[in-house]
Structure 1
């Protein structure tokens, strides 16, 4: 019943299902501890959340979601007079730092890319196409125009390389990942069903009528899939390109490699995707620079 009330609050089906799993996991914990709702205290909630971190290595955002689900459930139970005291009122988790503007963390991107398959056959076909677009945007940092103009001949599945024609008709060859390859292969199984012809000059992404998708259609489908995943963000192709660059730089530190993959002629352009952690920067400086290292003061 409490889930129906959450549905009234315009929560997506995906979010509702996640909330239901979170609450069920907590109720299972209570049953194992021989706790009734009336006996649950804030300390029990802390123990439960600590257990989730230990068992599943949950990120702060996932813990917040778990607590939010339990809080909503307890609030519903309190309003229905199933318990007299809501222990979640006394429990607050430290909020994770918000991502910089225009940036999604890795977990959020994965939530979008790894969302479950729809139930309806037509929606499944749309998802297979849309997922392959999302995977390429994030896997290779493509611009919207580069994705839209991609042809069958531009994909080398064996070496997992894309031949991209970017701004100024400049051509570059960039890699794409295993997940993107798997998604593309699944999508191309649907391709002919939609009237597409797998010829070298055929567009990779087409509509149900067999026509090449327009940039506007691609933008709309990207937004649709973010909403279906329960992610409250205005997702667009350039944001996924931004995430690709930022996550690659964060994990590799190789600015020139990222510059090559993005197709930037100027390294300065690539540097706008670099989000500097000043504490880390100061630590590296102190450890590496000979004039920054601390030495015991010599006695005169």
Structure 2
């Protein structure tokens, strides 16, 4: 179990609840380490606020007024809407757990409301720009330099499959089905899905596996598909650098992170006529509503569909 900072100003009775909640998330929540860390931080903030209102406070003193007052202080301190929305979600998860474990007899967050976070879309490549980015990566790999071959695979797979950067870094050699051209991807909540990729990505993968990976592989490589220069599994920071350098080499292209290539892939699928539920499956979204917010369809595409389908177009 991960222990709290012993120097933190949190009374021990409240700290015990926080520790056991974090342990529950680690063992049963199916959440990433980053998410668990964020939940711990948010709940700690709430419990510290509770302790500040009453030095003898117990968990039973956590009520709707305390929750609302704590959130109001977040807003007053300038916290972004996305931050407030996340903290509200963290607290709801915590109070729900308190009720299920019979530490509270009712859920004080049941009537807690907060403003929805604004959903902003990242920059996206035009289809022609995406082709130029892929061509730039292919040209860089023409001399069969192992790192250049790897970098080409990175941008090709991110754009071809729309997978997340963490999913890309987590790919192992046996996650590649070259015959069917599909990836076995472990996404959020350890959910597994199968994602297709195209011929150019297949060619980039083949070149990497034949002429690139063997030159970087070391005793620390294990089954990792993509490797850093020292032979270990590549990390997300390295992938972000590769994407930034490759995309910005194309004149006029927006500066993208890996998430921008994911968004570009989804956008171009929709513009090409893909069904929204197919895109949902490719992206690994549990809710179609998430896909609807995450992707957008060009005005030209909307007009074309309207003209084709509407009797009065």
Q: TM class, shorter-chain normalised? A: 0.5 to 0.7
Please point out which of 189, 195, 208 is paired with 2:217. 195
Name the structure 2 match of 1:117. Answer: 139
Name the structure 2 match of 1:177. Answer: 198
Normalising to structure 2: TM-score of the pair? 0.55
Against the structure 1 CA distance between its residues 171 and 118, is the aligned structure 2 distance closer, same or farther, given a 3 Å change threshold?
A: closer
Give me the whole-angstrom Cα distance separating, in 2, the residues matched to 1:280 and 1:225: 28
How far did residue 278 of structure 1 move?
5.1
Alignment of 1:258-297 (within 5 A): 258-277=279-298, 281=302, 284-285=305-306, 288-289=309-310, 293=312
2:161 paired with 1:140: yes
Alignment of 1:1-300 (within 5 A): 102-115=123-136, 117-118=139-140, 124-189=145-210, 190-196=212-218, 202-277=223-298, 281=302, 284-285=305-306, 288-289=309-310, 293=312
Aligned pair count?
191
Q: Which protein, 1 or 2, shows the higher relative CO under an 8 Å CA cutoff with sep ≥ 6?
A: 1
Give me the whole-angstrom Cα distance separating, in 2, the residues matched to 1:287 and 1:227: 37
Give me the whole-angstrom Cα distance separating, in 2, the residues matched to 1:254 and 1:197: 44
How far did residue 272 of structure 1 move?
2.0
Give me the whole-angstrom Cα distance separating, in 2, the residues matched to 1:206 and 1:103: 27
The alignment's C-alpha RMSD in Å is 2.8
Name the structure 1 match of 2:104. Answer: none
Against the structure 1 CA distance between its residues 284 and 173, is the aligned structure 2 distance closer, same or farther, given a 3 Å change threshold?
A: closer
How far did residue 234 of structure 1 move?
1.5
Is contact 1:112–1:231 with CA below 8 Å preserved after alignment?
no
SS at 2:185's partner residue? strand
Can you list the C-alpha shifts for 1:118-170, whole angstroms capped at 9, x where unaligned?
A: 49968x32221111110100000010100010000100001111100000000
Is contact 2:133–2:247 with CA below 8 Å preserved after alignment?
yes
How far did residue 214 of structure 1 move?
1.0
Is contact 1:255–1:270 with CA below 8 Å preserved after alignment?
yes
Normalising to structure 1: TM-score of the pair? 0.57
Against the structure 1 CA distance between its residues 288 and 235, is the aligned structure 2 distance closer, same or farther, given a 3 Å change threshold?
A: closer
Is contact 2:153–2:205 with CA below 8 Å preserved after alignment?
yes
Q: Unpaired segments of 5 or more residues in structure 2?
A: 1-120
Give me the whole-angstrom Cα distance separating, in 2, the residues matched to 1:217 and 1:254: 33
Can you list the C-alpha shifts for 1:159-205, whole angstroms capped at 9, x where unaligned?
A: 11110000000000111111101001101121111124799x61111
Against the structure 1 CA distance between its residues 282 and 167, is the aligned structure 2 distance closer, same or farther, given a 3 Å change threshold?
A: same
Give me the whole-angstrom Cα distance separating, in 2, the residues matched to 1:158 and 1:128: 21
